[in-house]
């Protein structure tokens, strides 16, 4: 019989969302008249903006005419979108890159999951705890970790992010080859300032490490000293790869479009000591394994950078930012300490009275009919914390917030 990739057997079942679904279903069955509101979803509730929909329609019409029909496109993305990204997200922030360092894809999830295959299996990986689970699980699948014992995989460097360090991990004491950083962060909703990020870039330059920087929530940044791109930090173009997405920026969670920036200065080394450009390797990987994002979707993404597209998407983001403020103020009224929400659509609260994450989940569901996500589901350091998201509609968010404000502990 064909042998399995044993590393897959090390993976922990993703019980988090299935357990939540089971608990919610049981509650609804027992209380059919109650309206349960979810502040647990990581998906958006607002539709695509008109400028994007119009661009989609126009591109569909082009696809129906022989003169403008398009088949396979460039694997790395059409020049019109790469140029729009370059101008809109980098040149306008004073960052110099070239369009061939930008790779358009169908999602930050797939890119951040696939990127690790460019590194040796012996690569030492560091990641934040709590963490977006994709970074962790894809390294488990690739065989870079030991087995799972007492809540942790062997051979990984965990970077604890708790209230004690303001959710900004300390630099590892040991050597890390690859460091995953997510800022603004899912799940903690906090973001690294330019000075904090500079320390990571300096560490990476000193250690010849590579930073995989996920800034899927960049559009939610409000604070002046929080950079929108890691390339605002001097030296980052030698050590960092940046992942961005149209999912939470422009409601593309179902439409699928994202991009990854791989500067030509980022290098890895062969056994013989030859330096190899990561940009060339990623190009090779993408042209071999990926056939590009649909033309119509790339035209839709391009429309996000038009004057109307910008105004309209910013209005949607402002709606979610307002939701975050509504949630934060309700938590304050309930006497609960909460973090995040200022530069991200996530609020990370400290469970009161020493409740564990799941006990808080049960209380919120049973007494407030509100659903959120237990922090422990994102890693051992998430125990005693709880995530709420700002992605529901303003009406339901307000309703949920009123219930949260009345909770007694
Ligand atoms: N990165 C982070 C930190 C996320 O939270 C998410 C989605 O929840 C993604 C990436 C996935 O983005 P995409 O929809 O582009 O695959």
Q: What is the CATH number of the domain that holds 34?
A: 3.90.1150.10
Residue 148 to residue 133: CA distance in whole angstroms: 14
Token reading at 257: 């479009």
Contact 343, 220 (CB under 8 A): yes
Across the chain, mean pLDDT equals 97
If asked whether residues 60 and 163 sit together in one domain, one would say yes
Q: What is the CATH number of the domain that holds 74?
A: 3.40.640.10
Supply the DSSP symbol for 216. T
Structural domain containing residue 256: 53-306
Does residue 1 sit within a domain?
no
If asked whether residues 388 and 239 sit together in one domain, one would say no
How far away, in angstroms, is 108 Cα from ligand 1 center? 5
- H helices within 65-172, ranges in order? 79-85, 108-114, 133-141
The pLDDT, as a whole number, for residue 151 is 86
Residue 42 Cβ contacting ligand 1 at under 6 Å: yes
- Measured over the CA atoms of residue 125, residue 200, residue 134 and residue 120, the dihedral's sign is negative
Residue 249: pLDDT above 80? Answer: yes
Residue 182 Cβ contacting ligand 1 at under 6 Å: yes
Does residue 67 sit within a domain?
yes
If asked whether residues 396 and 253 sit together in one domain, one would say no
Residue 373 Cβ contacting ligand 1 at under 6 Å: no
If asked whether residues 302 and 179 sit together in one domain, one would say yes
Residue 193 Cβ contacting ligand 1 at under 6 Å: no
- H helices within 142-266, ranges in order? 194-207, 247-250
How far apart, in Å, are the Cα atoms of 9 and each of 77, 142, 351?
35, 12, 33
Classified as helix, coil or strand, 370 is strand
Q: What is the pLDDT of residues 18-69, one digit of tens each?
A: 899 999 999 999 999 999 999 998 899 999 999 999 999 999 999 999 999 9
Pairing of the two strands 346-350 and 102-105: unpaired
If asked whether residues 64 and 110 sit together in one domain, one would say yes
Which residue's C-alpha comes closest to atom 11 of ligand 1? Answer: 109
Token reading at 108: 């930050």
If asked whether residues 169 and 255 sit together in one domain, one would say yes
The structure tokens 């990581």 sit at: 42
If asked whether residues 230 and 94 sit together in one domain, one would say yes
Q: b vs e for 324-339, b when ≥16 Cβ sit within 10 Å of the residue's Cβ?
A: bebbbebbeebebebb
Does residue 193 sit within a domain?
yes
Does residue 342 sit within a domain?
yes
Expressed in percent and rounded to 5, the helix, strand and coil fractions of the chain are 45, 15, 40
If asked whether residues 240 and 148 sit together in one domain, one would say yes
The pLDDT, as a whole number, for residue 134 is 95
- Angle of helix 50-63 relative to helix 295-303, nearest 10 degrees? 150
Backbone dihedral angles phi then psi of residue 274, each to the nearest 5 degrees: -75, 135
Residue 392 to residue 323: CA distance in whole angstroms: 8
Backbone dihedral angles phi then psi of residue 176, each to the nearest 5 degrees: -115, 135
The pLDDT, as a whole number, for residue 230 is 98
Residue 257 Cβ contacting ligand 1 at under 6 Å: no
What region does 292 belong to: left with phi over 0, alpha with psi -120 to 50, or beta?
Answer: left
The pLDDT, as a whole number, for residue 175 is 97
Residue 14: pLDDT above 80? Answer: no
If asked whether residues 75 and 184 sit together in one domain, one would say yes
Residue 107 Cβ contacting ligand 1 at under 6 Å: yes
Categorize the per-residue pLDDT at 150 as very low, low, confident or very high, splitting at 50, 70 and 90.
confident
Contact 236, 198 (CB under 8 A): no
The pLDDT, as a whole number, for residue 279 is 98
Does residue 147 sit within a domain?
yes
Residue 105 Cβ contacting ligand 1 at under 6 Å: no
Domain boundary among the residues 258, 287, 306 is at: 306
If asked whether residues 202 and 148 sit together in one domain, one would say yes
If asked whether residues 226 and 94 sit together in one domain, one would say yes
Looking at the 3D structure of the chain, how many domains does it have? 2
Does residue 26 sit within a domain?
yes
Q: What would you report as the CA-atom Rg of the chain, rounded to the nearest whole angstrom?
A: 22
If asked whether residues 201 and 224 sit together in one domain, one would say yes
Domain boundary among the residues 291, 306, 321 is at: 306
The pLDDT, as a whole number, for residue 277 is 97
**Cα dihedral 142, 144, 148, 154 in deg (nearest 10):** 180
Residue 267, H or E segment: strand 267-269
245, 301, 320, 346, best to mutate for ligand 1 pocket (most atoms within 8 Å of CB): 245
The pLDDT, as a whole number, for residue 15 is 78
Categorize the per-residue pLDDT at 409 as very low, low, confident or very high, splitting at 50, 70 and 90.
confident
CA angle, 175 then 178 then 181, to 5°? 110
Among residues of the chain, what percentage have pLDDT more than 70? 100
The pLDDT, as a whole number, for residue 13 is 81
Average pLDDT over residues 77-97: 97
Residue 192 to residue 176: CA distance in whole angstroms: 19
Contact 232, 248 (CB under 8 A): no
Residue 42 to residue 271: CA distance in whole angstroms: 41
Residue 112 to residue 259: CA distance in whole angstroms: 10
Domain boundary among the residues 306, 336, 367 is at: 306
């Amino acid at each position: 019989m064909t042998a399995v990739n044993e590393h897959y057997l090390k993976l922990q079942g993703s019980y988090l969302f299935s357990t939540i679904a089971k608990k919610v279903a049981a509650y609804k069955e027992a209380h059919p008249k109650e309206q349960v509101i979810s502040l647990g979803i990581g998906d958006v509730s607002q539709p695509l903006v008109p400028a994007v929909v119009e661009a989609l329609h126009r591109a569909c019409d082009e696809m129906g005419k022989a003169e403008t029909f398009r088949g396979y496109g460039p694997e790395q993305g059409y020049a019109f979108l790469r140029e729009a990204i370059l101008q809109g997200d980098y040149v306008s922030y004073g960052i110099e890159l070239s369009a061939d360092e930008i790779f358009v894809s169908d999602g930050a999830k797939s890119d951040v999951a696939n990127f690790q295959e460019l590194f040796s299996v012996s690569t030492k990986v560091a990641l934040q705890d709590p963490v977006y689970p994709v970074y962790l699980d894809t390294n488990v699948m690739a065989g870079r970790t030991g087995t799972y014992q007492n809540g942790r995989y062997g051979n990984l460097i965990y970077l604890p992010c708790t209230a004690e360090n303001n959710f900004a991990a300390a630099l590892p004491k040991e050597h890390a080859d690859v460091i995953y950083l997510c800022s603004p962060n899912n799940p903690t909703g906090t973001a690294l300032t330019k000075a904090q990020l500079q320390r990571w870039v300096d560490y990476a330059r000193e250690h010849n490490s590579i930073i995989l920087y996920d800034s899927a929530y960049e559009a939610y940044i409000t604070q002046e000293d929080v950079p929108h791109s890691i390339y605002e930090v001097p030296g980052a173009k030698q050590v960092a790869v940046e992942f961005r997405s149209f999912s939470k920026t422009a409601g593309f969670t179902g439409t699928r479009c994202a991009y990854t920036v791989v500067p030509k200065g980022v290098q890895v080394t062969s056994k013989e000591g030859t330096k190899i450009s990561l940009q060339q390797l990623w190009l090779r990987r993408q042209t071999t394994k990926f056939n590009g994002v649909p033309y119509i979707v790339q035209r839709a993404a391009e429309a996000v950078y038009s004057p109307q597209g910008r105004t309209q998407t910013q209005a949607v983001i402002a709606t979610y930012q307002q939701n975050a403020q509504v949630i934060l103020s309700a938590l304050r009224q309930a006497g609960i300490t909460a973090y995040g929400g200022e530069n991200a659509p996530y609020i990370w609260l400290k469970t009161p009275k020493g409740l564990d994450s799941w006990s808080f989940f049960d209380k919120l569901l049973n007494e407030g009919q509100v659903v959120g996500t237990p922090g422990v589901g994102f890693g051992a350091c998430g125990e005693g914390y709880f995530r709420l998201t700002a992605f529901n509609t303003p009406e339901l968010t307000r309703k949920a917030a009123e219930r949260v404000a009345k909770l007694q502990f």
